[in-house]
Structure 1
């Protein structure tokens, strides 16, 4: 049974990992490195020095798909709730009262208290007038500002700014404390309503020997109640000017925007350049100016490259340790994935240049990012594709390695895309997040009571954490959506690769027994793996923690096989939408969605033999093979092979039949669900404007909240538009997240008229089953009917209670599991995933009738 990963356990992992790597002073970029020491955006208006704190140690440790949140529940559902010192919020699981207590800042203007872990902080500010300001805080995972949710600054980067309209009178800010027991908060009066902020720039290395267009990205603050339309950035450097037209920026928001620097021109000198940026309004008024340093280097030295992501149109970067051979052609390509808190640029810098290949280090979308799953997985694939375009490597010489969280990424990406890599080398890695979670429970069990208290864990709470949760059928189905992340379920995919496992003998962050466990597992079936424990090595023991020569020696002797040389092949997947193929065989559809599917291919003397499990449609591309056989035996059916085209087979009444081509209107690798699948394909957020003022405000804030989260967690840049501005022709073939319902979102009928699920005020119509009431909330995904590629994800509710129950956006958090459909009510805020009323997957034809649903 899949078990849950708790917040404190993950906190423990991050804290331990950072401590171990900081001791080396090597590839870690410290949290404080990019702190803002002066307020470039305006004038300091107020520093919060007094607050109320509520410690909530009775929170259960369950799946974060719907985390329990009694504090936000009370504030969201009761707009009059106003805590004061000494107020009892509730009683915890020991019967002790949970009391709001006063807390003050230290000499650094930080609220700093061990009890802040698993706590909430309430700040209050009285304004004499209504005015627009910037809320600047760090150390929190979420904040409710006058009842509206906003993204936090979990990692204490000091990047987060939120434009806020202070109402006249008292304003309340309730912060959920993040990974460290420290909170800072202040209000800033903006120097101007529209301006740049240089917090969180993305800047490429200027390559003096490449005639390419360079792109960078900067955030633009809109602290007005109006849309910014027709704005322009002018980049001025080396005597030339390059203009970039900006997309529309919503009211009271900040968006990170790519802009062009143009090509370098005739200047070919290494060293420092100065970039002058100006922001112009539609009327050509110069609103702001920034001067930003650039660095010119040769492409033959370590450098950063940027590219526009197909996921959301944002600008991403990756770092390169290029080959030391300046004339290398068709060399090797090494994909190196970083650990938690490590910047990609520092990951690449940890490697010496190789004479036989180029090394690339993607970002995972952020130093913590997505543990190389979800959007981190897509980032790795985008970077690999871009690097192949640039470096034109030998297609048989592609390799994968990484350290710590990147070691996990190596295990995960290697299992998920086995035909992409000739060999993989996980360093200090854990194969599966759940296996890592078990390690922490074991480690906590060996701690003293004093040590546990340092993490806010009592012995009684530890016992609760160790209990195997009893899942109801709905929860079990929800967790099934996480099958693609169950790396150990895909372990036989490693047969397609050489494997080198490197681990420190005395690693106390990812304990060595995890690597020994993988050695034992692989030893039962894998003929080509190497295991090495670095003597006395801890989690990080210098550059050899990643740049270990025997790894690259193994790589030199491994090739991705040519397709015609493959006589035997096994492949396993949790979803065709995540990984569908290996070499010339593609799984298009499953019988049971998000259970493991597999095939085993064997080339015999006279026949091809193909055995499948949980597969309903499969394709073989015979054009990749020479010396064609006469017949294909698939399971128990024998079919004649004619020609060398793609051979598509569908299971009908338990028999395999050849079919002409897959229907793109059905599920397949191009569009398969679950709900998280909507966050790609240049995703667009469309919010409701046709409801009541409360509905409109809520859905706008919800779309803006998700855009804030995409920026913070994924370095994203999402288009957010009004429903009345959406049209099929203006935004073709793009995924859409629709906020609202049929009553209040004007784009609903355009995008959702054929959906088997309809939602309007006071009613859910679930394929004819009608559920009245204004307490329902839903997340679900359906195909966009005017497109063979795009999907529509729906964040919807039947009324105010349902809207507020759906406030959380954990579908943008890695490790959470979301099937195609989730139906819930306001009870989830108090009882979490166990309170979800219905979950399921549509059938391969996107119908409810042929789907797999559980009801509570």
Structure 2
């Protein structure tokens, strides 16, 4: 992404209006605050030097910086020696030293023209271009010039780091000792829009009568997916890292401000809301605030009413989207919705008045539809307001056709900046809706995890919206309808992913320019960690990526109609990815209904990619049912599963649990006139809906791994009868289906992001400042990267909620440093996993986890909800605690399975500093085959 594009993206970031009783607007909302007035920069000021010291480049693979110290190879407890050199295999002579760079308009560009990149690339390809740099500069904080007006509170900094991975502030050198532990904040490495700034507490109080200088250290990591191929983008062999950094002051004055970019509201069709979910973004400048009420202005009271979905508490500096339900009685003709929110702190009750602009459209018709589609709203995960775009069909039909679910590429803002262009790129259908989910954010989780869940939720939400009004019901469809998947680039990969995990919900797939998986996009051959880690342990870590490896799940698509597209000269995703996916698919089924279209000479995106006769014909054929048969095209097929809870059925067959979680499970089915034969690999429990079997198969022998399973003849006459089988000691026996469906989504810590509601972050009740900072950083990252909400509470409050039954049923993250609190103890004392409490520390398999700088993360069953998770992030000391926070998996490609123990050697050896890791067995048991400790 070039610097101009990054600067343009910054213009979409939030504006903070801190004036009391003053109407303001930045394009999304208008707000009037009836809380104490405060003006930023009225007192303290800050400046960021344009001069930068740069150290690098060092080989690194994508996401490896989450294990390595972000300041690698530096130890920030030591003084920084600008004359020192460090080993690097990228430099002639094998070592690198510090160089100089200057920022221009807040952009720091880092490149190393003396490195022979072409020679490195000749043998290592794109992998050779990925590298790590350390950037260092200074920030100066100035006290008020007029001492009589001096504020007593210490200011915070508002830091926006785009295209950088991490940053930290260091205290003045004469106030830093060897016990200092840097507090790393994640940057907005994807330059995502609608990202609030990091609110950063100064590591040492500034002087009130003279300037105070702090060092700022940035981890700059060049990734091909972010910056592209320099040959194509820059016409150069030299990769260039472009980082944008801005710093401002936020005084710590208790106040709540609105966040324009976080507003969520639907469009209105003939005056009626296309979705009842409304979201208002609020940020606390300081103090704890609770939103306790919502109402509409008097002139709108007869049109609709609003209500809080739930009371929402905002931690100091936290940004949250307040969920509001809209109940409409009459058409709206106003250009905005005027709301009043009641917010309370410990000693203050205030009101926030907001006007949210809305778009109005007439009822769609065959010839008239909004050029940029219609924006709908819904509650993701039961309570998080979210939006998506739809393109209505030209005509209703008595027999609804499957909708198209279209997944956008990485970096594409489908709701705002790129909304029109993405809608225009997709073919409007005669009888089918086209649904364009946001994927949580422009990158989301590569259409995995919460992004997949949101995509399916938009289909259900549109069904509900259309069914809510008589005028729209003739255009509706069933909420569990099958869909045709389309996608481009990351969305093309997402189409392979979603189709491969939920084959029975798919009528066809049109993936364009999709990559196979992250490890294939840019190989990990330049991994620093690989030089130190036991290959067996590395395999366990890599198993956390197995659920994302699309090529492993192509057996599930062997009977699905597919039109795979790729530009022959794609500069972004090499064309061999789609060729290889198609070839692998045909290995599973040589007669697979897959067509490969390679458009010679075309790049990654080109005009008419989806708007051509071949795509239109394929799509029309599939949606009408003419291109797909009701029965599978073959009677021999294989269902592949990695995480049963994240997988759907294939031709009615479902896998519910694995014999060894963490390894692939496969269910091979052969259907012959004389019987059904099932072959299992690593399967513990599965089921088949008998009505899904071919009509000519009834009352035939049923063999599972050579064992005959007897079926009551009456069962064959019940199409919705599920035969569930479970294996114990090599014997397959019928099993109650409900007993095998409650398998938690284990396999990797990343699953904590797939939460049914706002994630609850639990911090200690005693001296919680450091853990509150960590909780706020995790909540900030959840917002920036996924627009996932988080509720921060103390251990005491969590224990109270658990006792009175009000503990949220969604996923929980428990942060602990040193001694574990009462809530943590109450959960761990149940001994539901092999982790135990020993004194004030943790113990695993008889070994104390209290070594210097040691971090432990592990999933644990939720105390009250069998389908939710608890993630413990424990540090034996402050250094270990910070390490645990950095390993919280915000991005794809971070290899963290169900549990992991990491030591201080990770700072310079990456995963070579992992002491142990593994995947839980069934019922959260120790899984010897998938554990190393």
TM-score between the two structures when normalised by the length of structure 1: 0.84
Q: 1:73 to 1:113 in 2, by over 3 A?
A: closer
Residue in 2 aligned with 1:43?
A: 40
Question: Which residues of 2 match residues 686-725 of structure 1 at below 5 A?
Answer: 686-690=761-765, 693=767, 696-725=768-797
2:232 corresponds to 1:208? no
CA RMSD of aligned residues (A): 3.6
Residue in 1 aligned with 2:516?
A: 431
Residue in 1 aligned with 2:140?
A: 125
Contact 1:336 1:348 in 2 (8 A): no
Structure 1 residue matching 2:789: 3-state secondary structure:
coil
Bigger drift between 774-783 and 28-37 goes to 28-37
The alpha-carbon deviation at position 663 of structure 1 amounts to 3.9
Write the distance in 2 (CA, Å) between the matches of 1:511 and 1:405. Answer: 13
Residue in 1 aligned with 2:699?
A: 629
The alpha-carbon deviation at position 822 of structure 1 amounts to 0.6
Contact 1:421 1:497 in 2 (8 A): yes
2:488 corresponds to 1:398? no
Bigger drift between 809-818 and 244-253 goes to 244-253
Residue in 2 aligned with 1:455?
A: none
Question: Which residues of 2 match residues 368-767 of structure 1 at below 5 A?
Answer: 368-389=443-464, 390=466, 391-392=476-477, 398-438=483-523, 472-524=535-587, 525-542=590-607, 544-558=608-622, 559=625, 562=630, 567-622=635-690, 624=692, 628-642=698-712, 643-644=714-715, 645-661=721-737, 663=739, 669-679=743-753, 680-690=755-765, 693=767, 696-726=768-798, 727-728=801-802, 729-740=805-816, 743-755=819-831, 756-759=834-837, 763-767=841-845
Write the distance in 2 (CA, Å) between the matches of 1:499 and 1:92. Answer: 46
Bigger drift between 200-209 and 419-428 goes to 200-209
Q: Deviations over 1:644-685 (max 9, x none)?
A: 243222222223223345646xx9544434222222122533
Question: Which residues of 2 match residues 813-824 of structure 1 at below 5 A?
Answer: 813-824=891-902
Write the distance in 1 (CA, Å) between the matches of 2:51 and 2:848. Answer: 46
Q: 1:142 to 1:299 in 2, by over 3 A?
A: farther
The alpha-carbon deviation at position 476 of structure 1 amounts to 1.0
Write the distance in 2 (CA, Å) between the matches of 1:714 and 1:512. Answer: 29
Q: 1:173 to 1:264 in 2, by over 3 A?
A: farther
Structure 2 residue matching 1:570: 3-state secondary structure:
strand
Q: 1:251 to 1:206 in 2, by over 3 A?
A: same
Structure 2 residue matching 1:816: 3-state secondary structure:
coil
Q: 1:374 to 1:467 in 2, by over 3 A?
A: same
The alpha-carbon deviation at position 366 of structure 1 amounts to 0.9
1:183 to 244, 247, 259: 244
Write the distance in 1 (CA, Å) between the matches of 2:789 and 2:328. Answer: 26
Bigger drift between 48-57 and 400-409 goes to 48-57
Q: Deviations over 1:511-538 (max 9, x none)?
A: 3333333343344424311122234322
Q: 1:632 to 1:732 in 2, by over 3 A?
A: farther
Bigger drift between 34-43 and 196-205 goes to 34-43
Write the distance in 2 (CA, Å) between the matches of 1:606 and 1:827. Answer: 61
Residue in 2 aligned with 1:135?
A: 158
The alpha-carbon deviation at position 821 of structure 1 amounts to 1.3
Contact 1:589 1:668 in 2 (8 A): no
2:115 corresponds to 1:54? no
Write the distance in 2 (CA, Å) between the matches of 1:414 and 1:803. Answer: 39
* Alignment length (residue pairs): 796
Bigger drift between 501-510 and 200-209 goes to 200-209
The alpha-carbon deviation at position 611 of structure 1 amounts to 1.5
Q: Deviations over 1:438-470 (max 9, x none)?
A: 5xx9xxxxxxxxxxxxxxxxxxxx978999997
Write the distance in 1 (CA, Å) between the matches of 2:682 and 2:621. Answer: 35
The alpha-carbon deviation at position 737 of structure 1 amounts to 1.4
Q: 1:207 to 1:82 in 2, by over 3 A?
A: farther
Q: 1:464 to 1:835 in 2, by over 3 A?
A: closer
Residue in 2 aligned with 1:317?
A: 387
Write the distance in 2 (CA, Å) between the matches of 1:245 and 1:849. Answer: 41
Write the distance in 1 (CA, Å) between the matches of 2:769 and 2:839. Answer: 16
Q: Deviations over 1:424-446 (max 9, x none)?
A: 011122232223225xx9xxxxx
TM-score between the two structures when normalised by the length of structure 2: 0.77
Bigger drift between 818-827 and 710-719 goes to 818-827
Structure 1: gaps (5+ residues): 1-13, 23-27, 442-461
Question: Which residues of 2 match residues 62-461 of structure 1 at below 5 A?
Answer: 64=64, 66-69=66-69, 71=71, 78=77, 83=80, 86=82, 88=84, 90-93=86-89, 103-106=101-104, 108-114=105-111, 118-126=133-141, 128=143, 130-139=153-162, 140-145=164-169, 147-156=182-191, 157=193, 159-166=195-202, 167-169=205-207, 170=212, 171-177=214-220, 180-189=241-250, 193-208=255-270, 210=272, 214-224=276-286, 226-236=287-297, 239-240=300-301, 242=306, 244=308, 247-260=311-324, 262-263=326-327, 265-267=329-331, 273-282=335-344, 285-286=349-350, 288-298=352-362, 300=364, 301=369, 302-310=373-381, 313-325=383-395, 330-345=400-415, 346=419, 347-389=422-464, 390=466, 391-392=476-477, 398-438=483-523
Contact 2:132 2:219 in 1 (8 A): no
Structure 2 residue matching 1:131: 3-state secondary structure:
coil
Contact 2:688 2:723 in 1 (8 A): yes
Write the distance in 2 (CA, Å) between the matches of 1:368 and 1:761. Answer: 43
Write the distance in 1 (CA, Å) between the matches of 2:911 and 2:527. Answer: 17
Q: 1:387 to 1:796 in 2, by over 3 A?
A: same
Q: Deviations over 1:20-70 (max 9, x none)?
A: xx9xxxxx9962551568977853443423454332312433653843125
Q: Deviations over 1:380-435 (max 9, x none)?
A: 22223333444315977620011111111112212122111111011122232223
Write the distance in 1 (CA, Å) between the matches of 2:618 and 2:79. Answer: 63
Contact 2:859 2:871 in 1 (8 A): yes
Structure 2: gaps (5+ residues): 20-38, 113-130, 144-151, 171-181, 227-240, 467-475, 716-720
Residue in 2 aligned with 1:10?
A: none
The alpha-carbon deviation at position 848 of structure 1 amounts to 1.6
Structure 2 residue matching 1:56: 3-state secondary structure:
strand
Write the distance in 2 (CA, Å) between the matches of 1:611 and 1:594. Answer: 19
The alpha-carbon deviation at position 743 of structure 1 amounts to 2.8
Q: 1:420 to 1:377 in 2, by over 3 A?
A: same
Bigger drift between 397-406 and 167-176 goes to 167-176
Write the distance in 1 (CA, Å) between the matches of 2:54 and 2:825. Answer: 44
Question: Which residues of 2 match residues 824-839 of structure 1 at below 5 A?
Answer: 824-839=902-917
Write the distance in 2 (CA, Å) between the matches of 1:463 and 1:611. Answer: 39
Structure 1 residue matching 2:881: 3-state secondary structure:
helix
Residue in 2 aligned with 1:457?
A: none
Q: 1:194 to 1:787 in 2, by over 3 A?
A: closer
Write the distance in 2 (CA, Å) between the matches of 1:144 and 1:234. Answer: 41
Q: Deviations over 1:288-334 (max 9, x none)?
A: 544442211246331111221118x4222211111121567512210
Write the distance in 2 (CA, Å) between the matches of 1:485 and 1:846. Answer: 22
Q: 1:396 to 1:229 in 2, by over 3 A?
A: closer
Q: Deviations over 1:782-805 (max 9, x none)?
A: 222433222211111222332133
The alpha-carbon deviation at position 808 of structure 1 amounts to 0.6
Contact 1:762 1:772 in 2 (8 A): no
Residue in 1 aligned with 2:9?
A: 31
